Chains A and B, each alone.
Chain A
Amino acid sequence: MLSEVAVNEIKDITTRYPTKRSCVMPALYVIQKEYGYITEEGMREVARILGVRPVIVFEVSTFYTMYNKKPVGKYHVQVCTNIACSLLNGEHIVKVISRKLGIKVKETTTDKKFTLSTVECLGSCGTAPMMQVNDRYYENLSDDKVEEILNGLK
């Protein structure tokens, strides 16, 4: 059962969007915050609260990469591998993180602390290469900087 805070948050969202269907995306973020990823129950709750068909929520949640389909670690490390970042060694950054954490892309460390993902452009090409950890951007990355950032995440 979704917490009352989350339910109210979704209800509040409905006051700011023109149609029920347009609330699906922000509502799914509430679910992701609540459960850490998009759960089946969460999708049903969104559908119920918004009064849309569950399959519509499922469609949206599977279309966008920002919604986690599986549980993720405490820190979700999302490295951009789109064109600008790739040209400036973004792929190398992925390898560095992979080696440091001992996991491949789309995997989670056994202590459930880190999940590594590659993502498409996050709109920060001017500061490439970059990555996003949970809701925070880390820019102008280098091997050392990545090392330092990951060490700082407890």
Chain B
Amino acid sequence: MSTVKINGKEITVDDGTLILDAARMAGFEIPTMCYHARLSKLASCRVCLVEIVGQKKLQPSCVTPVMHNMEVLTESPVVKSARSSMIELLLANHPLDCPVCDKGGECELQDVTFKFGPRNSPFAEWKRRFNEEDYILSPVIVQNTNRCIQCKRCVRICAEVVGAGVLGSIGRGAETEETSFVKGYLDCDHCGNCIEVCPVGSLMSRPYRYKSRPWDLKGVDTVCTYCGTGCQLTVQARDGEVLRVISKPDSGINNETLCARGRFGYSFINSHERLVTPMVRVNGVLEPSTWDEAIKVIRQGLTGAIKIGEKIGGIASSRFTNEELYLFQKLMRVALKTNNIDSSSRWHTGTVRDYVDIMGLKNGGVSIYDALKADSLLIIGSGISDENPVTDYIIRRLSSYRKMNIIIVSPRGLRLDSSAAVSIRHRPGTEAEVIGEISKVIEKSKDVSKDKIASVTSADWGGTGSAAELIKTSNSVSIAVGNDLLRTPLQLSFLKTFVELLKGLGKDVRLFPVLDRANQRGAWDMGVHPGILPGYRHTDEEGLGCDGIIEAALKGEVGALYVAGEDIISDFPDGGAAKEALSKVKFLIVQDIFLTGTAKMANVVLPGASFVEKEGTFTNQEGRVQRLRRLYKPHGDVKADWEIFVLVGEAVGHSFHFGSVSEVFEEIREVAPMYREINFYGLNGDGAILQAAGSADLYGRLNKSTSTPPSPTLEKGGVFQKGAGNSGGGEDPEYPFTLITGNHLYHSGRLSLKADTLRDILSEAIVEISEEDANDLRINEGDKVRVKGKRYEAALTAKINKGSMRGVVFIPENFDDVHVNMFFTKGEGYPKVRVIHPHPIPPPYRGREKGRG
């Protein structure tokens, strides 16, 4: 500990604390421009200069650590004068076009000048001018470098946090300009974090440009609904229209970092395609109707199905709030007396149960920051850089501060590979074999190979040795397990065995779920699963999951199906089967905010609210409960989804008595022990992590099942065949590629497609292929290729992923133009496809005449 005197005030701080931080702790304000708490230190702006008694020169407080008995002055005349001069120099070249600058009113340069700056300036020279017209850097980023103050925050965040590294310092000296390669279009994440950290109006958001002044915006702090990371964001609207999304520096796990989806994916809220009234099918045609009419039809439909004893099912999106999912579950189980309920149409129900078990979700949450304190981090089953971009950003940022061995097990090349110690590529569905091999090496301490990126084929298991060595030498290991493992009936027992092995070696092991839907964990917590009740009690009799419901519907056994927020036709692996199944459902209720393909088949369509139009809580992948806050009342005849569930429940004769979301939350607290300590109104920016709670007998059944290896995952009515997920077997020369799917970096689920801004970034499906395969097939980036499956064929734009596994292609699941789920066949696991280049270009002619020297 060091004791320092700042402006005469004594304060004791940890050794190595920066003067800036110590002064702020002591209550003194030191202005900064280039300093950013979560980026590397630059000390170039010199605005934070302070006087250290006994030293001749002023020192930048943002990089100077305190020393014991140091005496610092932050408000001495010499500091004040130097500070003012530094700001004056920044302003000397700043255009001061504040009236037309988007940053006006929230500009750090304005604020610092107002508080500490000169009151006049002797500079009469011309200001340097880089550009007459703004640089359009991306569909979402626009730049006016005349305003740039060369703080390099954008350059640093792009390289250090986002990992894209597409911004740089061009030129030298006073003529330095922070911009992109040849000032052209960026090939980047379009995440806009550079906009967020820009202290002035150099980097600006294109969709928000000239839309509003910051003080005219009304905003609420809420949670992003695009993935399981659970970023805090602030949605701001003017006159009932959402105009932008920002994120605050000191709130949430993301600390002002967002991805393209979170920052620019809001425009679906304002979409004209939104459903505004309930719709009822009359004489075969869906027609706008009223709530009274719709509820009447639902009552008839549901009670009719109950009367004749037909199966009833419910599928709810894991983008609903905990309260809504709890009510939905209650509606299905209590009012409609069925366990046929599920929260995703994409996953294998039995595998989900194993996952929940093995990950120990009932034992409460683990903060990502605790999980990332481990010596080694193993990431498996997740295209984390695309699926959960901000989780990727957090890992990259933390791994640059401290040594953490990152081991990535994935078929696809990921952005995070560049931060990884070892990246293991494997065939989709062979995760168990990779982990098995790592386990073997750990047990036997075999020789290790030194390959950084190794391809795993049946003969070559390189990379696993290095991974095993890193894990062996680590005291603590965190394992991030993604939901790609849920797509096939893979035996997750390998994970359990692996964790036991590590624990047996005395390692501190933490399991960390990586989930692609914002409230997937909440959905399981709330019991939206055929075999799990709220709080992870087991049902007495397991119902049908989504795959089971589809199977039953195909046989014509489903009398009524309630689909809320899911587009089964587009998501279910085997779109054709889903469509046929839904057409055989006698009474179909769809609740959504858009008229999806599934909704078009419904008997009744109910218009739900978007996330800014309702209250509630989300539980992110960590197990952190955060609050969604309502920005404004929904437009039109739209109701919050929880209100709709209450209405439907009452229509079928069950009284719900919930007047508000917090009342539902109170009931959740009673039923789900992990939520017992959480106070709905006490949830602030950082939310609250779920606690392990509850008595042994409450979990008795579940404990029993975890004590033995999970049973084989093929279940009654299951769609997939056991072991079918392992596609590493026989090669089919006709279809040499294995197709995998997931979310694209710019899109999530089906909702983001309705956001114009994200469509501007990417509006049509791509097919990602490894560099080696692309070379073999003479495919260049951007070529139109055909992907042919056994039953479906599509034309897509090729994208080359340098780090991907040979023989694997990836098509995102988000697009309307290519129904990727049509490639899938029930019971086949990962489909095999063929990639055809219709117009291959011959190898380039390399003998071009040499330029003159």
Q: Interface residues, chain A, CB within 8 Å of chain B? A: 1, 3-6, 32-36, 40, 43, 53-56, 58-59, 62-63, 74, 134
Interface string of B312-355 (1 = CB under 8 A from A): 00000000000000000000000000000000000000000000
Residues of A within 8 A of B851 (CB): 33-36
> B173's closest neighbor in chain A, by CB?
A63
Tell me what chain A mostly uses at the interface: helix, strand, loop, or mixed.
helix
Determine which of B169, B172, B846 lies in contact with A4 in the assembled complex, contact meaning CB atoms within 8 Å: B846
Residues in B with CB closer than 8 Å to A56 are: 165, 168
**Is the Cβ of A55 less than 8 Å from the Cβ of B167?**
yes
B interface secondary structure, majority:
loop
Determine the chain B residues whose CB is within 8 A of the CB of A34 once the complex forms: 850-851, 853
Inter-subunit contact B181/A55 (CB<8 Å): yes
User: Which of chain B's residues have a CB closer than 8 A to the CB of A35?
Assistant: 851
Nearest residue (CB) in B for A37 is B851
Closest 4 CB pairs of A and B: A55-B168, A35-B851, A59-B168, A54-B181
A3 touches B846 (CB 8 A): yes
B168: A residues at CB distance < 8 A: 53, 55-56, 58-59
C-alpha gap A40/B182 in the complex (Å): 7
Selected from A3, A55, A62, the residue in CB contact (under 8 A) with B180 is A55
Asked if A58 meets B170 with Cβ closer than 8 Å, knowing A4-B846, A40-B182, A53-B165, the reply is: yes
Known: A40-B182, A55-B180, A58-B182. A33 touches B853 (CB 8 A): yes
Counting CB contacts under 8 A, is B795 at the interface? no
Contact string against A for B residues 214-249, beta-carbon threshold 8 Å, 1 for contact and 0 otherwise = 000000000000000000000000000000000000
Complex contacts, B847 vs chain A, CB 8 Å: 3-4
Q: Which of A4, A43, A59 has the most CB of B within 10 A?
A: A59
Chosen A-B contacts, 15 in total, with CB atoms closer than 8 Å, are A32-B853, A33-B853, A35-B851, A36-B851, A43-B181, A53-B165, A53-B181, A54-B166, A55-B168, A56-B168, A58-B170, A58-B181, A59-B168, A62-B171, A62-B172
Of B165, B181, B853, the contact of A36 (CB 8 Å cutoff):
B853
Chain A residue with minimal CB distance to B844? A1
Number of interface residues of B (CB under 8 A): 20
Closest Cβ–Cβ distance, residue A121 to chain B (whole Å): 15
Q: With A55-B181, A59-B170 in contact, is A74–B848 under 8 Å at CB?
A: no
- In the bound complex, residues from chain B placing their C-beta under 8 Å from that of A6 are 850
Residue B852 at the chain A interface, CB threshold 8 Å: yes
Alpha-carbon distance A53/B163, docked complex (angstroms): 11
**B77 to chain A: closest CB distance in Å?**
37
Q: How far is the CA of A74 from the CA of B853 in the complex (A)?
A: 8
B186 CB to closest chain A CB (Å) equals 9
Per the bound structure, the CA–CA distance linking A32 and B171 in Å amounts to 18
Which residues in window 163-205 of B have CB below 8 A to A? 165-172, 180-182
Of chain A, the residue at the smallest CB distance from B186 is A55
- Contact assessment for A36 and B846 in the assembled complex, using a CB-CB cutoff below 8 Å: no
A88 to B468, CA, bound (A): 68
CA distance A5 to B516 in the complex (A): 48
How long is the Cα–Cα vector from A35 to B848 in the complex, in angstroms? Answer: 12
Point out the residues of chain A lying under 8 angstroms from B180, CB to CB: 55
> What is the CA–CA distance of A32 and B853 in the complex, to the nearest angstrom?
7
Q: How far is the CB of B91 from chain A (nearest CB, A)?
A: 25
Bound-state Cα–Cα, A6 to B169, Å: 27
Residues 819-853 of B contacting A (Cβ, < 8 Å): 844-848, 850-853
Q: Contact between B850 and A3 (Cβ–Cβ < 8 Å)? A: yes
Q: State whether A1 touches B846 (Cβ < 8 A).
A: yes
A25 to B: closest C-beta gap in Å: 14
Shortest CB-to-CB span from B376 to chain A, Å, is 26
> Least Cβ distance of B760 to chain A in Å?
23
